[in-house]
Structures are given as structure tokens and as C-alpha cells.
């Protein structure tokens, strides 16, 4: 009877020790995780990344693995290391296919493409995200970022369409209020005033300087007309005096200025359009920054 009691007590002791060990390990994991989160929230991304990696290496807990990997990728993004961040966000969905953070990871990939000026790739990545996720906040953020992709490529109508798809009642003040205000501003300011580079070029081809006048550059137009007129006068005067070699030289130099007058008019028209587009984009940025959480 006594040996049986001893065995039972031994088994009970082993169970208690195992339970205590698991509780201690769980508590240690939670403390390590909270410490890493605290570092991350304070903006010390390098130290936070070190603690997340330590958590994954020494105390791999399934409850924290996906968050730790996501935070590590985020830390590289915030430290301006986009290549490393992009690689880790790409790997995240394969490593954690069932994690709720997989949609946030794909959203970050869209953001990375956007930051790099790869607007077509950003839109494609976000489109795939919209097909896979129904989470209101993720859907709103994807539409908002797609809207900015279209803004950056000056496709104003598609930008308005994307921004109008954000339901402010489901997403709260941000980014719903931003989207509404941006769409309203786009409707008010577009279509933008524009000048045709082709028309400006042909005008200056027919009448030197007229393309510059069409764009609104009066001084440049008068200068181009006067310069072309001077070369024509000198060429005619050389022919009249039978200075044919001189006429050839004057005509060659004059032709360079004449053709430059044409391409210059086209460039001024393009700059006119870009100036108005950039002014609208800057206004949209200010509008977005002016909307703050309540």
C-alpha cells in the first residue's frame, strides 16, 4: 500500500513541477513579448527587433510568432530598409497563412510599392488584397492607398472612384473622412487647366514664338520670334549679297534655334501641365494631413 502511495505522490509532484514550468515559461514569454512591444511603440526599432528575434529563438511560442515576425518586418520598414521589409512581408503569408496579420502584411507590401513609385504594382497587390479580405479597416486602407496611386498618376476620375468606395460609417473618422474630403476636392478642382504640347510645338513650327505665347510665356515667345526673325533677315541679306557660304552657316545655326524654339514650346506646355498637377497633389496632401482623429 505504501509503495503505491509513494508512486502516486511522485506522479503528483512531477505533474505539479511540469505545470509550474509551463506557467513560468508562459509568463516569461509574455514578459519578453511585452518588453519587445514597449520598445517598438517607443520607436526603438533596432532594440525591439533584437528582442523579437530573441523571443522567436529561445522561447518560440505560437501565440507570439506571427506578431513577432510581422513586427520585425515593420521595424525594417520604419528604419528605411525597404528591401528587407519587402522580403519579410512577402514571406509572411507563406509562413503564417492563417494569421489575421496576413492582410496587414499584404497592405504593407502595397505601401512599399507605393513608396517606391511602383504605382501599377501597388494597385495590383492591393486589388488582390481586396479580393481576399472583407475586414472593414483593411478594405478601407486598401481603397485609400489605391486612390493615392491614381492621384500620383493623375488619373483623377479613378482616384475619386476608389475614395468613394470607403464607407466612413464602418471605418470611423480615419480614413473615411479623409477619403470624402479628398474626393470632394478632386471633384471641385478637376479637370485641370492644361496645354497641349503637340499644339504648342506646331504653333511654334508655323510661327516661331506663338507656341510660347499659347502657353502664357510672353517674354519667351517674343524672344523666340525676334531671334528667328533675326536669323531669317541675316540669311536673306547674305543671299542678296551673294554670300552663299555665309548664308549656309547662318541657316545652319538658325535652324538649331528654330528647332529649339519648337521643342521649347512643347517643354513649356508639359511643364505647365505638371505644375498644375503637382499643385493639386500638394493640396490633396495638405487636405489629408489636416484630418486628425477625434
The enclosing domain of 109 has a CATH number of 1.25.40.10
Domain co-membership, 35 together with 166 = yes
Mean pLDDT of 134-142: 91
Asked if residue 6 is part of any domain, the answer here is no
Residue 178 lies in a domain: yes
CB 146 within 8 A of CB 116: no
Q: Which residue has the higher pLDDT, 268 or 61?
A: 268
Asked whether residue 67 falls in the same domain as residue 209, the answer is: no
Average pLDDT score over residue span 149-171: 87
In this structure, what DSSP letter does residue 192 have?
Answer: P
How far is it, in rounded angstroms, from Cα 218 to Cα 40?
Answer: 57
The C-alpha cell that represents 20 in the structure block: 509550474
Average predicted confidence (pLDDT) for the chain:
83
How large is the angle between the packed helices 62-78 and 2-41, nearest 10 degrees? Answer: 20
**Span 22-77, pLDDT tens digits:** 433 445 567 878 888 899 999 999 999 999 998 888 766 667 889 999 999 999 99
CA distance 257 to 20: 89
One domain, residues 62 and 153: yes
Report yes or no: 261 and 228 within 8 Å, Cβ to Cβ.
yes
Share of the chain above pLDDT 70, in %: 80
CA 111, CA 77: separation in Å to the nearest integer? 10
Cα dihedral across residues 81, 84, 87, 93: positive or negative: negative
Task: For residues 127 and 82, state if they share a domain.
Answer: yes
Given 193, 221, 254, the domain boundary residue is: 193
- Whether 3 is in a domain gets the answer no
Which of 96-100, 166-170, 228-232 comes out lowest in average pLDDT?
Answer: 166-170
Phi-psi region of 71 (alpha: psi -120 to 50; beta: other; left: phi over 0): alpha
Mean pLDDT of 228-233: 72
Q: Mean pLDDT throughout 225-248?
A: 72
Q: Quick one: cell of 283?
A: 493640396
Q: Both 187 and 210 in a single domain? A: no
Q: Is the dihedral of CA 162, 164, 170, 173 positive or negative?
A: positive
Confidence of residue 19 (pLDDT cuts 50, 70, 90): very low
| Residue 75 covered by a domain | yes
Please tell me whether residues 113 and 188 are part of one structural domain: yes
Of the residues 145, 167, 193, the one at which a domain ends: 193
49 in Cβ contact with 14 (< 8 Å):
no
For residues 48 and 174, membership in a common domain is answered with yes
Is 22 within a domain? Answer: no
Inform me whether the pLDDT recorded for 13 exceeds 50.
no
pLDDT level of residue 243 (50, 70, 90 thresholds): confident
pLDDT at position 248: 73
Same domain, residue pair 107 and 188: yes
**Considering its fold, how many domains does the chain have in total?**
2
Which of residues 193, 210, 243 is at a domain's end? 193
pLDDT higher for 121 or 62?
121
- Listed in sequence order, the DSSP H helices in the chain are 2-41, 45-58, 62-78, 82-95, 102-115, 119-132, 136-152, 156-164, 168-171, 176-189, 197-206, 210-215, 218-240, 244-290
Quote the domain boundaries for residue 102.
Answer: 29-193
Look at residue 180 and tell me whether its pLDDT is greater than 80: yes
Q: Is residue 1 part of a domain?
A: no
Domain co-membership, 271 together with 235: yes
Residues of 185-222 as b/e, b for ≥16 C-beta within 10 angstroms? bbeeeeeeeebbbeebbbbbeeebbbbbbbbebeebbe
Residues in the chain: 294
In a domain, 52, yes or no: yes
Residues 188 and 257 in one domain: no
Q: 122 and 242 in one domain?
A: no
Alpha-carbon torsion (132, 117, 187, 196), positive or negative: negative
pTM of the model: 0.78
Q: Is residue 24 part of a domain?
A: no
* In contact, 273 and 194? CB cutoff 8 Å: yes
What is the arithmetic mean of pLDDT over 274-287?
95
The sign of the torsion formed by the CA atoms of 166, 171, 175, 177 equals positive
26 CB contacts (<8 Å, ≥6 apart)?
A: 61
Same domain, 165 and 70: yes
Structure confidence at residue 11 (pLDDT): 52
Amino acid at each position: 500500500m505504501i509503495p503505491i502511495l509513494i508512486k502516486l505522490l511522485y506522479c503528483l509532484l512531477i505533474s505539479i513541477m511540469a505545470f509550474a514550468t509551463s506557467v513560468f515559461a508562459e509568463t516569461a514569454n509574455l514578459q519578453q513579448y511585452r518588453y519587445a512591444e514597449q520598445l517598438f511603440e517607443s520607436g526603438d526599432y533596432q532594440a525591439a527587433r533584437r528582442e523579437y528575434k530573441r523571443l522567436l529563438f529561445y522561447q518560440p511560442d505560437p501565440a507570439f510568432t506571427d506578431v513577432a515576425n510581422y513586427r520585425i518586418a515593420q521595424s525594417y520598414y520604419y528604419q528605411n530598409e525597404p528591401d528587407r521589409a519587402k522580403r519579410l512581408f512577402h514571406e509572411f503569408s507563406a509562413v503564417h497563412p492563417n494569421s489575421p496579420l496576413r492582410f496587414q502584411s499584404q497592405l504593407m507590401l502595397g505601401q512599399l510599392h507605393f513608396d517606391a513609385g511602383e504605382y501599377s504594382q501597388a494597385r495590383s497587390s492591393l486589388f488582390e488584397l481586396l479580393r481576399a479580405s472583407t475586414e472593414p479597416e483593411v478594405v478601407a486602407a486598401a481603397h485609400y492607398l489605391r486612390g493615392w496611386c491614381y492621384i500620383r498618376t493623375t488619373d483623377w476620375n479613378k482616384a475619386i472612384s476608389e475614395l468613394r468606395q470607403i464607407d466612413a460609417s464602418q471605418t470611423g473618422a480615419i480614413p473615411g473622412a479623409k477619403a470624402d474630403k479628398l474626393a470632394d476636392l478632386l471633384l471641385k478642382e478637376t479637370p485641370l487647366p492644361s496645354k497641349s504640347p503637340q499644339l504648342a510645338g506646331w504653333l511654334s513650327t508655323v510661327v516661331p514664338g506663338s507656341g510660347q505665347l499659347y502657353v502664357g510665356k510672353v517674354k519667351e515667345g517674343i524672344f523666340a520670334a525676334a531671334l528667328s526673325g533675326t536669323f531669317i533677315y541675316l540669311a536673306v541679306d547674305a543671299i542678296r549679297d551673294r554670300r552663299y557660304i555665309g548664308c549656309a552657316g547662318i541657316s545652319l545655326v538658325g535652324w538649331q534655334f528654330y528647332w529649339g524654339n519648337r521643342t521649347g514650346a512643347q517643354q513649356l506646355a508639359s511643364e505647365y501641365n505638371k505644375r498644375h498637377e503637382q499643385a493639386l497633389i500638394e493640396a490633396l496632401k495638405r487636405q489629408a494631413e489636416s484630418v486628425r482623429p477625434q
